[in-house]
Amino acid sequence: MLMSPLQVKDKLWEVYISNGLLGSSGGISKAKVDLIVQEDMEHPSNFSGSNRGSILFRRTTKKGPWEDAASQNDAIPLESILLFRSHHALADGASIMAALSDLCDEAEEIREQIRLELLKWKRRRDSKKGFRKILSKILRLIKLCLWFIFGTARALAYQSYLQLTTRVNPFDAVKFDAETKGLAASGRSLSWCDAAPLDEAKTICKVLSKAKGSTITINDLFVSCITAAVTRQLVEHEEFMAPVGAHKTKCVGKHMNVVVPVHMRGGVVLPGESVGNNIGAFVCRCPAEMKHDAKGGSCSVERLEKVHESLLYMKKSPAPIVSHALAKFCSNFLPSCVTKSIFESANANASVVITNTRGRESKIHINGMPVESVAGFIPLPPGVPVGVVVQSYAGSMSLSLTAERYAIPDPDKFLQWVVEEYQALRHAAANLQ
């Protein structure tokens, strides 16, 4: 289901539900499966009788000589896996997470939390009264207009610069070589994994931010790790394409372009609001192949600094708002072939698209059963061969990869490279502490 694109001419969404032995689908990592089994063995009373536990148990109605076998089967834990995908016009990642929240047992609690946050925001907004309130609104409107006008001009100029200076996609040579040798494989590469504890990632960002005098975010951290993995993948392709003289066929340069989607409402769908696609995006230039610094140390921290600067530059611009408006206009008024061509050009020959989705800090439950893992997969934009989703849920950071098979032939190895780069930054932060 996930290995090939959705045939939107036949349907706009599809869903599958399957049951099996705990850990058999790969949807829950082995570490989590072991932890669940250990908890069930230590607290068996939590999962008996009418209580709903973390796992389902196989049930049977066999009698007589099969009674002993039935009692043994009762102890075999099961899992349920839900696969859902839809056309991106129907729902973005935030909308899908909101829909999942509405299905869970904690739905009312989540709605109440959102309502309280809205009340806090309104109180802060209404704290100023009378003339000060009117003056504040006028000044904010003027600053917003100036920011949008000059920011749009700057964003369009930067986008034009990226398109003019990035004439080809680094993976185009890989695709051509694979087709020439008859090795081009159709379909998609797919993988997912748990990357790190959320608190640990926050600590790394805090330590490195303090050391470098900046404000490094978790998004910066993982974009840096993913671009390092893309670079390693391109270097491996170079060695495969020219085994006698490595780097003779140059795929990877000093920079690569990265597409970063942005939710127009900050990843929040308000109660009662319809789901939909409220995604804009921007393209930024990140470092690719790097040398070790002058002292002979690792370049991981240096890469992270450059990624942070590049992302911060684009975050301050209205590029996502402009791209969202242009995408809506093209989709509504232009032929699909023209729209696709514009989207391919707008990606500025980006090597990878990286998005992040923020989930709840605690586990949600559906009909009493906890949701152990959540993984989202991004649809690849036209012309971009690699897509990665960085997601937080229940105190854990996870990664999911969708890629053209010629670009990422071994998706598990690619995600291992991402985790290795993360560990290098973790080691650097530990040394600074």
pTM of the model: 0.86
Residue 51 burial (10 A CB sphere; 0-12, 13-18, 19+): exposed
Give the Cα separation of 193 and 288 in Å (integer): 23
DSSP3 helix / strand / coil % (the chain, rounded to 5): 45, 20, 35
Q: Hey, which residues does 396 pair with through a beta bridge?
A: 197, 393
Q: What is the pLDDT of residue 50?
A: 38
Q: In this predicted structure, what is the pLDDT of residue 251?
A: 75
Q: Maximum Cα–Cα distance for the chain, whole Å?
A: 86
The reported pLDDT for the residue numbered 128 is 63
Say if residues 385 and 169 touch (Cβ distance below 8 Å): yes
d(CA 81, CA 23): 10
* φ, ψ at 140 (rounded to 5°): -65, -40
Contact 267, 376 (CB under 8 A): no
Distance CA 290, CA 299 (A): 7
Instruction: Give the span between the Cα atoms of 213 and 219, in whole angstroms.
Output: 17
In this prediction, residue 264 carries a pLDDT of 85
Report helix, strand or coil for 101: helix
pLDDT of residue 291: 65
Which pLDDT tens digits describe the chain residue by residue (433 residues)?
A: 677 777 777 888 888 888 888 888 888 888 888 888 787 777 665 544 434 444 444 433 444 443 443 444 455 678 888 888 888 778 888 888 888 888 899 988 888 888 888 888 878 777 666 677 788 889 989 999 999 999 999 999 999 999 999 989 999 989 888 888 777 667 789 999 999 999 999 999 999 999 999 999 999 999 999 999 999 999 999 888 865 444 455 678 889 999 999 988 877 777 677 777 889 999 999 999 876 533 434 689 999 999 999 999 999 999 999 999 998 898 888 888 888 888 888 899 999 999 998 888 889 998 888 898 888 999 898 889 999 999 999 999 999 999 999 999 999 999 999 999 999 999 999 998 7
- Among all chains, which residue has been given the structure tokens 């005098």? 213
In order of 93, 167, 232, 276, 422, the CA distances from 6 in angstroms are 16, 30, 30, 18, 32
pLDDT of residue 96: 84
CA triple 251-253-254, angle to 5 deg: 165
Q: How far is CA 48 from CA 27, 33, 44, 79, 106, in A?
A: 25, 19, 7, 17, 22
